[in-house]
Structure 1
Amino acid sequence: MIQREEVIGDCRLILGDAMSVMRDLPKADLIVSDVPYSLTTGGVSKSSKTMSGIFAAHNYRNDGQLIMATVPFPEMMAAFNDALGPDADCYVMSNDKNLRPIMNAAAAAGFGLHNVLVWDKVTPTANRWYMKNLEFTIYLWKGRARTINDPSSKQLLRGGIDKATGHPTEKPVPLMAEYVRNSSARGDLVLDPFMGSGTTGVACANLGRKFIGIEIHEPFFDMACERIRAAYERPDMFIERASTQVQQPLFGGAA
């Protein structure tokens, strides 16, 4: 159910539950999303937390970490497949432990696997079994596979992030822009069912793509509206120049 809706430029932003909203949307040409998934906490608790997207239930543990509910991957990936047009790409972000279940769910939903892309976020997260400085993007296709717009693009993208918002898993705009630019054309419709602080929408505003973003958590929805409105008012004239070379950082500014 749609609780609220904002239209900013070519971006349609929806406050609501993605799993119920997606079925009534026009078919998208591309999905780019940092989907919600469970993470083990860094404190003494053995329970898990989810750091983006769905916030259907939340509370604070004694270690101060926010605990949030998530969507089962089989239902999520089936809904993603249904939300796309007949020949379309889909980028789904994941950590290492969720790669296999997401890929299994994607295959069951009818997606093909193009590649697993890697983001070196430079600043590592503390861990007892090697510090974690990498996140992953599962690059999928539906229908007929299409060549990306820049076949010289590398599998590894490197660059830190100066956070522009208080969202716990904000992603850099140049990272999402790389996926949007490579798998869509100007005027195409890009969908992010779990838009969080609206990074994918900012990338679409900068690149001349239409965008639909869904977020269930109202403070983050408001945050996304503010960022996308600012992207239209103060366009990033340099985002198209982002390099894909592994040897140098792809980006380093705020997202």
Structure 2
Amino acid sequence: MNAIRKEIVIGDCRLILGDAMAILPSLPSADLIVSDVPYALTTGGVSKSSKTMSGIFASHNYRNDGQLIMATVPFPEMMAVFHGALVEDADCYVMANDKNVHPLMDAAFGAGFSLHNLLVWDKVTPTANRWYMKNVEFTLYLWKGRARTINDPSSKQLLRGGIDKATEHPTEKPVHLMAEYVRNSSKRGETVLDPFMGSGTTGVAAAHLGRKFVGIELHEPFFDMAVARIRAAHERPDMFASTSEVAA
């Protein structure tokens, strides 16, 4: 049975609707992974056991009331598939909140990745919490095979900047954040992979920076969002060319 439900090609971007865990083993190896992966998180709703999911869930069902929307892919399975989806020497950026950093890191080590750095995104606008308001998220900067220096070694561990939301996706990330990772760990013409594409932010960054892109998304409304955004991005190439684009 074909796991690919729909496929659209826009320039050098290949966008696939379907289950990433089933699809990735059949795809050519990518040069870089940059992904806001799905993970369990506490919402801030009233229930003590409240949880929801980041990533693959319907925006019209998303509520801050502590309801379980969808089960996530187990981290060990996810990271093993990610490791196999990359070329022999490659970087991998996966985002996590504070509660998921350690289990995701353990899964990454178990899959064969090594850790370069724990990066921090200061999203400026905090999320309400009784135990310190949460204004940061984390990115595991991993590598497979031989370690490579980033294209701009003057880049800082902490990046600060909010989101000008382009879609109704509840966990949309800013293009400038994903662009920093894409720019530093790939070259023009290389392939960037996002197995949990969501609204397509990584694909937008890749298109603006002259990278090839493969994105996979399970939920069709989000897939349609990503298609529209990436199509629009191809009409504005090299958006980030003047901001530290040092890769050949």
Match of 1:131 in 2: 133
**Partner Cα separation in structure 1 for residue 90 and residue 63 of structure 2:** 40
Q: CA RMSD in A?
A: 1.9
Q: CA deviation at 1:235?
A: 3.2
Deviation sequence 1:28-84 (CA, Å, 0-9, x none): 00000000000112112213110213x49x967793757122100000000000000
Match of 2:195 in 1: 193
**Partner Cα separation in structure 2 for residue 29 and residue 117 of structure 1:** 20
Aligned residues of 1:28 and 1:85 also touching (Cα < 8 A): yes
Match of 1:103 in 2: 105
Q: CA deviation at 1:169?
A: 0.5
Equivalent residues, number: 241
Aligned residues of 2:123 and 2:135 also touching (Cα < 8 A): yes
Q: CA deviation at 1:220?
A: 0.2
Aligned residues of 1:60 and 1:66 also touching (Cα < 8 A): no
Change (3 A) 1:86 1:62: closer
- TM score, norm. by length of structure 1: 0.90
Residue 233 of structure 2 aligns with an amino acid whose one-letter code is A
Residue 49 of structure 1 aligns with an amino acid whose one-letter code is T
- Structure 1 segments unaligned to the other structure (5+ residues): 244-255
| From 67, 74, 77, the counterpart of 1:75 | 77
User: Which contiguous aligned blocks of 4+ residues in structure 1 show a shift greater than 4 angstroms?
Assistant: 58-62
Change (3 A) 1:64 1:131: closer
- Structure 2 segments unaligned to the other structure (5+ residues): none
**Partner Cα separation in structure 1 for residue 69 and residue 54 of structure 2:** 8
Are 2:11 and 1:9 aligned? yes
**Partner Cα separation in structure 1 for residue 91 and residue 192 of structure 2:** 10
Change (3 A) 1:240 1:234: closer
Deviation sequence 1:160-186 (CA, Å, 0-9, x none): 111010000000011000000000000
Are 2:96 and 1:116 aligned? no
Match of 1:246 in 2: none
- TM score, norm. by length of structure 2: 0.92
Task: Give the secondary structure class of the aligned counterpart of 2:177.
Answer: helix
Change (3 A) 1:60 1:131: closer
Task: Give the secondary structure class of the aligned counterpart of 2:122.
Answer: strand
Deviation sequence 1:186-234 (CA, Å, 0-9, x none): 0001100000000000001000000000000000000000000000113
**Partner Cα separation in structure 2 for residue 103 and residue 208 of structure 1:** 30
Match of 2:91 in 1: 89
Identical-residue share of aligned pairs (%)? 79
**Partner Cα separation in structure 1 for residue 156 and residue 123 of structure 2:** 15
